Amino acid sequence: MATHTNIMIWFLVAQVVLLVMVPRIEAKVPAVIVFGDSSVDAGNNNFIPTVARSNFQPYGRDFAGGRATGRFSNGRIATDFIAQRLGIKPTIPAYLDPAYNISDFATGVTFASAGTGYDNATSDVLSVIPLWKELDYFQDYQKILKAYLGEKQASQTITEAVYIISVGTNDFLENYYASPGGRQSQFTITQYQNLLAGIAESFVKKLHGLGARKISLGGLPPMGCMPLERTTNMIGQHNCVERYNNLALEFNGKLSNLVVKLNKQLPGVNLVFSNPYYAFMHIILNPALYGFEVTELACCATGMFEMGYACGRTNPFTCPNAEKYVFWDAFHPTEKTNHIIADYIVKKVLYKLL
Ligand SMILES: *[C@@H]1O[C@H](CO)[C@@H](O)[C@H](O)[C@H]1NC(C)=O
Ligand SMILES: *[C@@H]1O[C@H](CO)[C@@H](O)[C@H](O)[C@H]1NC(C)=O
């Protein structure tokens, strides 16, 4: 009887402790800081001279206020949903957007640029922000953050923030395979993958050197299933292009190994590999489970080739309900897909950083 009571009391205490603990776990992440390409750009490209833009309708038509922010989606992107799930805020603003200042950036910021890659030659294709420059911006940000929060609290934010890196697709699809005279003539695909993995390694090391500790390195999605690739897969009856999917799997394997290695090497680091591949593939293979009806074509225009300006306002064909589509344009998921992937990544991987 006494033991029973003890257990009951212990159980109650445990529950109370849990109730108190849960909000603390959320409050432990002071900021989400993002690097990468269009998968996580919230509009930085609006403020640089490039055609890699999406700050016009129908982009953003399901965003708050129907605003086309420069996100390559009908609404929010995965990192917005991640910030929300971590209890921070519903959207992460772009560093170059003058509508925001350090009071916004102190809890989350993205330095990402649509069209960029690990390789400097990839960002050159569309004259966008190279990855090394995103790190330069991060250094500027640290100075402004210190002036705003004070040295001590700023360092605490830098140490405890969650860092998200999402890049790589463009290195293969916009650079390597798009220009036979370029990287393809210099490197085999295996050599090129190793080159990119090497750049990923030095990027993570530099980020760690700048004070980051909780870092998520993102994997590639099934690139061969993007509508653009399916459209051009005429011999393959517009199925997913297996060569590109296998490449994504192979490169993800290299990144995953890199994460294991760097966790041993870098003092105090908590580095995780956020792999969207299988969750994404599950959606594409079982769309009805998620309420999707169309996987092969994108919502925008004919759904086969269009993105950016080709997906513009004057195009009369854009689908009425993006919730039924996995892809918004020929290269980017709908808000609904972003939401599903973000929830999956938080539940499966990012919780390890909390
Ligand atoms: C940031 O912008 C808000 C709203 O425009 C303004 O009230 C605030 O003073 C600004 N903060 C800083 C630190 O500049
Ligand atoms: C990319 O360019 C920057 C600036 O010129 C340079 O510092 C860096 O070493 C280059 N990265 C690679 C991997 O070549």
Q: For residue 11, is pLDDT > 70?
A: no
User: Measured in angstroms, how far is the CA atom of residue 129 from the centroid of ligand 2?
Assistant: 12
Q: Decide if 17 is inside a domain.
A: no
Percent of the chain beyond pLDDT 90?
84
> What pLDDT was estimated at residue 6?
52
Whether residue 13 lies inside any domain: the answer is: no
What is the domain count for the chain?
1
Report percent pLDDT > 70 for the chain. Answer: 91
Q: Dmax of the chain from CA atoms?
A: 81
Q: What CATH number is given to the structural domain containing 115? A: 3.40.50.1110
Given a cut of 50, whether residue 233 has pLDDT beyond it is yes
- Tell me, what's the pLDDT at 51? 94
> For residue 18, what pLDDT band results from cuts at 50, 70 and 90?
very low
16 falls within a domain: no
Quick one: which ligand is closest to 144's CA? Answer: 1
Looking at the CA of 93, name the nearest ligand: 1
Buried b (16+ CB within 10 A) or exposed e, 57-81: bbbbbbbeeeebbbbbbbbbbbbbb
- pLDDT at residue 292 above 60? yes
Atom of ligand 1 nearest to the CA of 148: 13
pLDDT at 310 (0 to 100): 85
Given 38, 123, 166, 216, the catalytic residue:
38
For the entire predicted model, the pTM comes to 0.92
Q: Domain range holding 254?
A: 22-353
User: What average pLDDT does range 320-347 have in this prediction?
Assistant: 97
Q: Residue 54 Cα, ligand 1 centroid: separation in angstroms?
A: 26
Question: Is any atom of ligand 1 closer than 6 Å to the C-beta of 48?
Answer: no
Q: Identify whether 61 is part of a domain.
A: yes
For ligand 1, whether the C-beta of 101 sits within 6 Å is yes
CA torsion sign for 38, 207, 344, 221 is positive
Residue 23 has pLDDT above 50, yes or no: no
Mean pLDDT, to the nearest integer, of 249-268? 98
User: Is there a domain that residue 341 lies in?
Assistant: yes
**Is 329 considered catalytic here?**
yes
Tokens found for residue 247: 């490449």
* Residue 38 bears catalytic tag: yes
Atom number in ligand 2 closest to CA 120: 1
- Mean local confidence (pLDDT), 255-275: 98
pLDDT confidence tier of residue 326, bands split at 50, 70 and 90: very high
Determine, yes or no, domain membership for 290: yes
Q: Is residue 184 part of a domain?
A: yes
Output the average pLDDT for the chain: 92
Contact indicator for 204, 262 with CB cutoff of 8 Å: yes
Among 63-77, 166-180, 312-326, 338-352, the minimum mean pLDDT is found in 312-326
Assign 353 to helix, strand or coil: helix
Q: Is the model's pLDDT at 22 over the cut of 50?
A: no
Whether the per-residue pLDDT at 3 is higher than 50: the answer is no
Is residue 349 included in any domain, yes or no?
yes
**DSSP-derived 3-state class of residue 325:** strand
